[in-house]
Amino acid sequence: MAKKVKTLFFCQSCGYESAKWQGKCPSCNAWNSFVEEVVQKENKKEWQESTGSSGKTNSPQPISKITIREEHRIPISDGELKRVLGGGIMPGSVVLIGGEPGIGKSTLMLQIALSLQNLQVLYVSGEESAQQIKMRAERLPFDSEQCFILTETGTQNIFQQVKQLKPEILVIDSIQTLTSSYVDSAAGSISQIKECTSELIRFAKETNTPVFLIGHITKDGNLAGPKILEHMVDTVLQFEGDRHTSYRILRTTKNRFGSTSELGIYEMLGHGLREVSNPSEILLSQREDELNGIAVGATLEGNRPLLIEIQSLVSPSVYGNPQRTCTGFDIKRLNMLLAVLEKRGGYKVNFTDVFLNITGGLKVEDPAIDLAVCASIISSLQDVAISNDICLTGEVGLGGEIRAVNRIENRIMEAEKLGFKVIYISKFNLKGLNQDKFKIKIHGVSKLDQVFSSLSL
């Protein structure tokens, strides 16, 4: 008698599982997102035998009786990855790295695998052959005898090799190419991604082995597969950048073992990815002449202070509706700042086109760059340049007031380190600030008009 095939319907947006087709997903409210996939319940005994899992069950215990063991992170030489992970690789953690095709995800993970000289690393590739990986490895500055390459897509075969090799770190490139024999659907489907990820997470937690997963993204910029994939893993990293430029940004969007506001910056070179230890130098353009519409603001990304260049172009609107275009800045916040400049400052910006650009490809959400954005816009409007040795930081309120920002000392020290001579901050940040230990001149201001009159705008 033929075995009955079991099928289920999965939402392509969130991974919701249903026994029948539905027009609207009850979980994420997406329309026409359900697809039918063939599934098969896994044999738990077979999985335990293939992975070497003990299969023991846990019993409930009072929270007061639970003892906390201090987990020692695995040290790595890559300072940028160490920062975004929160200080090193946590044993038993599962890290998901997503990014556009060709951005350098595989190069980054292969470089990390080769740089871990004292750890045995298994790099599993389902996209490239061993010869292709070897050709890329020859261009990288690292070489290791402890890095093993496996070209395989079946999870059961991978676990058999893991059981023999017993690696200290496992890298999967990529999770969308893996298939489990317990699910009959094609690779990359919702059920396959969920099942393969679940098996890898159980392996990581039971063996205390860190697992790195490389993930594809959709045309919308989201990680391919169900949204539950991001909930299942411990850390989600986004590898961003323009393929036409050499700089890449590794951004944390979720981290159970550290901050979610950290970022690392790399430069893609012919021999691999180079860590950028001082990103402020690459975010500031080298200009011989002073140009109008350019201001430098001090911002924070996690624990790292950055000085970024804000470029504005303000011109009379030729058409009826003035244009508002932003790159790396919130368009709604720009409209708010323009309204403040019109109402509180008396500048006629309602009938002008405003184009704003944050250099370096960064997306900044820190309100501390509001003052630099306003100064950049008025500089372009008045056709008056701001001196290259002036830096600004402060949040602008609806009344035109300059509000205090956090960790002002770190911002001032970064500006002083890069050679700026003057920094404008909120007057309320001066309270408790020891100005004698800084060589840079600090201007405390409370209103926008004080800044503009001091800058002769």
What pLDDT score does 39 carry?
65
Q: DSSP character for 119? A: S
Where are any strands of DSSP class E within 74-120? 94-99
Closest CA to 414 of 301, 261, 252: 301
Q: Element (H or E) spanning 392, and its range?
A: strand 390-392
> Who has greater pLDDT, 70 or 46?
70
DSSP count for the chain of H helices, then E strands? 12, 21
Where are any strands of DSSP class E within 256-338? 263-269, 272-275, 294-301, 304-316, 324-327
> Who has greater pLDDT, 265 or 227?
265
Band (5; pLDDT cuts 50, 70, 90): low
Cβ neighbors of 298 (< 8 A, separation 6 or more) are: 305, 306, 307, 368, 369, 372, 391, 392, 393, 411, 412, 414, 415, 423
What pLDDT score does 380 carry?
94
Is 322 one of the annotated binding-site residues?
no
Is 379 one of the annotated binding-site residues?
no
Q: What are 130-149's pLDDT values in tens digits?
A: 999 999 898 888 888 889 99
Band (1; pLDDT cuts 50, 70, 90): very low
Which residue has 């987990």 as its token pair?
Answer: 71
Is 100 one of the annotated binding-site residues?
yes
Mean residue pLDDT of the chain comes to 86
Is 106 one of the annotated binding-site residues?
yes
Band (2; pLDDT cuts 50, 70, 90): very low
And the tokens for 65? 């009786």
Q: DSSP character for 353? A: E
Quickly count: other Cβ atoms within 10 Å of residue 59's Cβ: 4
Architecture in CATH of 76-277:
3-Layer(aba) Sandwich (3.40)
And the tokens for 323? 């244009």
Is 65 one of the annotated binding-site residues?
no
Q: Given strand 247-255, what is the order of strands in its sheet? A: 147-151, 121-125, 169-173, 211-215, 94-99, 235-240, 247-255, 263-269, 272-275
CATH class of 282-454: alpha beta
Query: 376: cis peptide before it, omega within 30°?
Result: no
What pLDDT score does 53 carry?
57
> Who has greater pLDDT, 389 or 46?
389
What pLDDT score does 249 carry?
85
Closest CA to 300 of 386, 373, 393: 393
% of the chain surpassing 90 pLDDT: 43
Is 101 one of the annotated binding-site residues?
yes
Q: What predicted TM-score, i.e. pTM, was given to this entire model?
A: 0.74
Is 99 one of the annotated binding-site residues?
yes
State the DSSP string of 140-151: SS---SSEEEEE
What is the CA angle 87-88-90, rounded to 5? 115
Q: Where are the domains of the chain?
A: 6-39, 76-277, 282-454
